[in-house]
Amino acid sequence: MLLAAVIVAVAIAGRGGDESEPSAKEYEASVVNARDRVDFALSEIQQAQSEDDFLDRLDDAGNLVEEAADDLDDAGSPTRFEDESERLVRHLHQLSTDLQGTAAQTREVGFKNLLAGAVGLNFASWDKANATLAELREQGVQVQPIGRH
């Protein structure tokens, strides 16, 4: 009986590292990494040399934002940041969808001129992600807003 209890205790202790939540510093690093990756992806769009290149860059940015959101979600968060983290991941997933959807819609017949004369793109998901980052800053997470490119 004692041996069984020791085996169970060792098994639980061995898994403890896998199930524990990240520290506030680890979480901050994950948030900053995701923000930086999203910011980089968006900055690459403005380097487009043609309409096709622009649309390809929208797709690529959508993929990069999706990966950043998934990685942030996989990294987890301390309990006190769970709500904000879930919202940030959701908003980043939506931003990814918005970027790729804009590219797809623009490629459709009849939407070729959708972006003609546009000075820039604005997505509510970008605004919401930045609002969540602002909430995290208010709670002590040192992270910059996602830039407007």
pLDDT digits (tens, 9 = 90+) for 57-115: 999 999 999 999 999 999 999 999 999 999 999 999 999 999 999 999 888 855 656 66
Write down the domain spans for the chain: 24-138
> CA-CA distance, 38 to 43, in Å (whole number)?
9
Tell me the per-residue pLDDT of 2-47, one tens digit each, with 9 for 90 and over: 343 334 344 434 434 446 899 999 999 999 999 999 999 999 999 9
For 102, half-sphere exposure in the C-beta direction (CA atoms, 13 angstrom radius) is 24
For 17, half-sphere exposure in the C-beta direction (CA atoms, 13 angstrom radius) is 2
Which are the contacts of 114, defined by CB distance < 8 A and separation ≥ 6? 105, 106
